Amino acid sequence: MIADPEPASAYDKAAAHDIDPRCVPQRLDHEPPVGDAIPYPDYPAQDHANWRFLFERQMALLPGRAGDAFTSGVDRLGMTPDRIPSLASMSRRMQDASDWRIARIPGLVHEQDFFALLARRLFPSTDYIRGADELDYTPAPDCFHDMFGHMPMLTERAFADFYALFGRAALGATGKDRTSLERLHWFTVEFGLVRQGDGLRIFGAGILSSKNEVTHALSDAVDVLPFDPDRVVEQDYDVWHLQPTLFALDSFEQLVDGFSSWAKRRRLL
Ligand SMILES: [Fe+2]
């Protein structure tokens, strides 16, 4: 008697249909490893070289463009160009800074799993890096975007508090509120700008981890509007092109307060 073959995983099915399996959202069927329980992968030398290339290229573009909270977060997490950082070690540093920790996920996760982790102050991160042929663009999540783009801001207390509130609000949202929350996420966490004493700066991960977005975001080609949740939720976006419209915060406290009152009015908090 021949045993039944293993049921195909979402990855196998995607590969069979010629879809990049890293782009298929997966449901988490068990608790992902968190903090010190995350092992450090045995990365080949090429992976560390890809990290170094991406890290050095972005860091060279960021002076005068990235916000102070981001820049100090890179230091605080101990990121260097030498090697892909350890999720366990960054999780410890993040916990000290803002009481967030890191959960290692296998790729794109289903949005309910994603929101549930955020609500528990757990940042979902991959630990694999894009290939040498994808250095300018990858459609899939990878640890350069997750670590370099997102984690520094999670050492900023007010931003970190906002992101946990976002997760809580999103868990119960349906219909139009779901679309509104996607837009709020896009125009803050991924593409947000902030006004600081010396001018307009970037804090969104989608900009800070992309060579093209980082040079575009503060250029005259972008229409920058003041952050107002009621306005942001009306703003559609297109993931395939450079962003023509962005929103600027006055402070991260404004983000916490503005988001909380919007979400309470929508009965999401
Ligand atoms: Fe992201």
Q: Structural domains in the chain?
A: 31-265 (1.10.800.10)
Q: Report CA(29)–ligand 1 centroid distance (Å).
A: 22
CA of 2 to the centre of ligand 1 (A): 44
Tell me the CA–centroid distance for residue 6 and ligand 1, in Å: 32
Distance between Cα 189 and ligand 1 center (Å)? 7
In whole angstroms, what is the distance from residue 16 CA to residue 196 CA?
49
91, 98, 180, 190: which one is catalytic? 190
Say how many residues make up the chain: 269
Q: Is 145 a catalytic residue?
A: yes
Distance between CA 45 and CA 115 in Å, rounded?
34
Task: State how far the Cα of 217 lies from the Cα of 192, in Å rounded to an integer.
Answer: 10
- List 91, 98, 125, 150, catalytic entry: 150
pLDDT of residue 153: 98
Closest CA to 83 of 56, 107, 111: 56
Which residue from 269, 266, 227, 265 is spatially nearest to 246, judged by alpha carbons?
227
How far from each other are the two terminal CA atoms of the chain, in whole angstroms? 56
H helix or E strand, kind and range, residue 16: helix 10-16
The reply to whether 190 belongs to the active site is: yes
Contact 188, 210 (CB under 8 A): no
Judged by DSSP in three states, 102 sits in: strand
pLDDT at residue 22 in the model: 76
Report angle CA 153, 208, 250 to the nearest 5 degrees. 55
Catalytic (active site) residue 150 = yes
Residue type, 239: V
Nearest in space to 74 (alpha carbons), one of 90, 54, 60, 86: 90
Strands 122-125 and 223-226: unpaired
Q: How far is the CA of 44 from the centre of ligand 1 (A)?
A: 25
The residue type of 47 is D
Q: Which of 91, 98, 125, 145 is catalytic?
A: 145
**pLDDT tens figures, 75-119:** 999 999 999 999 999 999 999 999 999 999 988 999 999 999 999
Euclidean distance between CA atoms 24 and 12, whole angstroms: 11
Q: Are 232 and 256 in contact (CB under 8 A)?
A: no
Cα(205) to ligand 1 centroid in Å equals: 6
Pairing of β 199-202 and β 193-196: antiparallel
Tokens 């068990």 — which residue? 30
Question: pLDDT tens string for the chain (269 positions)?
Answer: 444 444 455 556 666 777 776 788 889 989 999 999 999 999 999 999 999 999 999 999 999 999 999 999 999 999 999 999 999 999 999 999 999 999 999 889 999 999 999 999 999 999 999 999 999 888 888 999 999 999 999 999 999 999 999 999 999 999 999 999 999 999 999 999 999 999 999 999 999 999 999 999 999 999 999 999 999 999 999 888 888 999 999 999 999 999 999 999 999 99
Identify whether 17 is a catalytic site residue: no
- Tokens found for residue 242: 């450079």
